[in-house]
Amino acid sequence: MRNSKQRQKIAFFLLFLATLLIVIPVGLIVVIIIQKGLPAINWQFLSDMPRKGMRAGGIFPAIVGTLYLVTGAIIFALPIGLFAAIYLSEYAKENFLTRVIKLAIVNLAGVPSVVYGLFGLALFVVFFKFGASILSGSLTLGIMILPIIITASREALESVPQSFREVSLSLGASKWQTIKNIVLPNAIPGILTGTILGLGRAAGETAPILFTVAAFYLPRLPASVFDQAMALPYHLYVISTQVPNVDEKIRYGTALVLLAMVLFMNLIAIIIRYQFRKKKKW
Amino acid sequence: MVKVKIETHDLNVWFGSVQAISRLNLEVYENEILSVIGPANSGKTTFLRALNRMNDLNPNYKMSGLVEMDRKDVSGLDVELLRRRVGMVFALPLPLPLSIFDNVAYGVRMHGMRGGQKLSRVVKESLKQAYLWDEVKGRLDESAFKLSGGQQQRLCIARTLAVEPEVILFDEPCSGLDPISTSKVEDAMVKLKEKYTIVLVTNNVKQAARVGDRTAFFLSSELIEVDKTEKIFTAPDDSRTDGYIRGKFG
């Protein structure tokens, strides 16, 4: 009897320890980056061009580049992902083709990001002759986040109760009217959440933009979608490994800005989800 | 002479390999309430959903035979037009996540009626017919989910009426309601048969006796008998009908 109680205590302690171990690295990353990066953050750092071979000045073009890339990725990925999700959850019959499509989406999510980079290089940069450009980078990131958007949208659509669809159809509404007026409005929060999580992923990835858009050092803003651009994750990689004697402050400052952008997006996703749960009426 | 509104000829329905209705021949007369009683899985709801083709939504659905409305095969009709003519009230109150007004206006709007006084009039008339107007007239903009269960079910009736159907199918409409709400819904049904043809599927045998003009008894996917309600409840032809009504099984 005593023995089993002791074992329970040990099991409980081990489980608790494992859970605690998850929190520690997250906490440490945030604390170290804030501690070392915060001194670098000022208005000049955020709004100035990099100077003296990136050893001084700011990271403005990298921030702008990342924003452009994320926006571009979403312009491509959201409509395609959403339409595909609507097709799969509302129209597609269960058959061989839909199973293949669903399998493809799952696998798309598992492809390593550097493979996306190589794919983007071959298809957009070389084959379509977009060159290393914001367009190529956005398309590559867009494909990378497609599975995230499709999966989140499908879950959101399928969480709308079947009974709502039946009521709408029983009143003589067409299938498309039902989707447009009943299903979509109630799925939007879930779709938005998934989209923002996809954005966060796109903002943070280095490998897909490595060959498709990222400029090593480009102290001006891109003029069109066919321009190269700097981007935060790649800039961080460059100043950390490729350029000697960059002040630690600048490196951690850059990391802090990137982290803050991604965490901010995730925060928005959490807030949307929370608001929706609070208002949910069924 | 009573006019036949809906009839089925040798209707068979399967879901996958399970037969839900076998060789059903049944007529529904215009402006009557036909009650359909029987134990669970006897095919009552499947019969109901065959009339407005809601069964079509099930990918495993197969049928043979004929369902006719006004002597026309319903599988040849445009399904959206058919469902406008044959409205349905579901077992549980199922308001759409919209305001009270928008719930009632939903069907009419889908059929192309845009805003304005005409729409408001339709909503008001429908709510009055469902005996709900007096309880909600001051708060049409509120969410339909703020209503009580009984009010929600009458809202669903109003929503069905707004489309101006010819037939209304009630699928155990009072199964989730308290006795007072139930009697309100029943009052509404009796009143409605003046204008509409009503098919009422119910698990409540007493309800069938209270409101049905005729009653049909289903058992294990077959129609056992159908006759005037008084006859079914006093001197049924089949001993199984008698047994079910007396609560011996089901």
pLDDT digits (tens, 9 = 90+) for A251-272: 999 999 999 999 998 898 888 8
Q: What is the pLDDT of residue B110?
A: 93
Beta-carbon separation of A170 and B83 below 8 A: yes
Percent of chain B with pLDDT over 90: 84
Q: Is the pLDDT of residue A277 over 80?
A: no
Residue A175 lies inside a defined structural domain of this protein:
yes
Query: What integer best gives the mean pLDDT of chain A?
Result: 91
Contact B69, B85 (CB under 8 A): yes
Distance from CA of A156 to the nearest CA of B (A): 16
| B29 in a structural domain | yes
B8 membership: H or E segment, kind and range:
strand B4-15
Q: Check CB contact under 8 Å for B106 and A168.
A: yes
Instruction: Test A171 with B160 for CB contact under 8 angstroms.
Output: yes
Q: How far apart are CA B32 and CA B102, in angstroms?
A: 30
Question: Looking at the domain assignment, is residue A214 inside a domain?
Answer: yes
Per-residue confidence (pLDDT) for residue A245, from 0 to 100 = 84
**Is the minimum CB–CB distance between A278 and chain B shorter than 8 Å?**
no
**pLDDT for residue B249 is more than 70:** no
- Residue A217 belongs to a domain: yes
**Binning pLDDT at 50, 70 and 90, where does residue A2 land?**
low
A169–B54: do the CB atoms touch at under 8 Å?
yes
- Structure confidence at residue A217 (pLDDT): 84
Q: Which residues of B touch A169 (CB under 8 A)?
A: 54, 57, 83
Q: Is residue A6 part of a domain?
A: no
**What's the rounded mean pLDDT across residues B88-103?**
93
Q: What is the pLDDT of residues B153-180, one digit of tens each?
A: 999 999 999 999 999 999 999 988 889 8
pLDDT at A281 over 80: no
**E strands, B30-135, in order:** 33-37, 61-69, 72-73, 86-89
How many angstroms away from the CA of B160 is the closest CA of chain A? 7
CA angle B94, B169, A282 (to 5 degrees): 5
B149 belongs to a structural domain: yes
Q: How high is the ipTM of this complex?
A: 0.91
Residue numbers in A near B161 (CB within 8 A): none
Are A73 and A202 spatial neighbours (Cβ–Cβ below 8 Å)? yes
Q: Is the pLDDT of residue A274 over 70?
A: yes
Decide: helix, strand or coil at residue B147: coil
Which pLDDT belongs to residue A282? 57
What's the gap between Cα A197 and its chain centre? 5
Q: What's the average model confidence in pLDDT over B5-34?
A: 95
Task: Give the pLDDT score at A259.
Answer: 93
Q: How close B94 gets to chain A, by Cα (Å)?
A: 7
pLDDT of residue B112: 85
Q: Which residue has the tokens 């980056």?
A: A33
CATH number where A107 lies: 1.10.3720.10
Q: For residue B10, what is the domain's CATH number?
A: 3.40.50.300
Rounded to whole angstroms, the Cα distance separating A50 from A217 reads 8
Q: How many domains does chain A have?
A: 1
- Half-sphere exposure for A189 (CA within 13 Å, toward CB): 14
- pLDDT for the residue B233: 92
Q: Whole domain around residue B24: which residue ranges?
A: 4-245
Interface residue A182 vs chain B (CB under 8 A): yes
Is residue B250, in this structure, part of any structural domain at all? Answer: no
User: Which of A268-272, B114-118, B122-126 shows the lowest mean pLDDT across its residues?
Assistant: B114-118
Q: SS3 for B142?
A: coil
The tens digit of pLDDT for each residue in B51-79 reads 999 999 998 999 999 999 999 999 999 99
Counting the structural domains of chain B, the total is 1
Residue A213 domain-assigned? yes
Picking from A247, A250, A248, A245, the residue whose alpha carbon sits closest to that of residue A232 is A250
Domain that holds residue A226: 59-233
In a domain, B82, yes or no: yes
Shortest CA gap A275–chain B (Å): 16
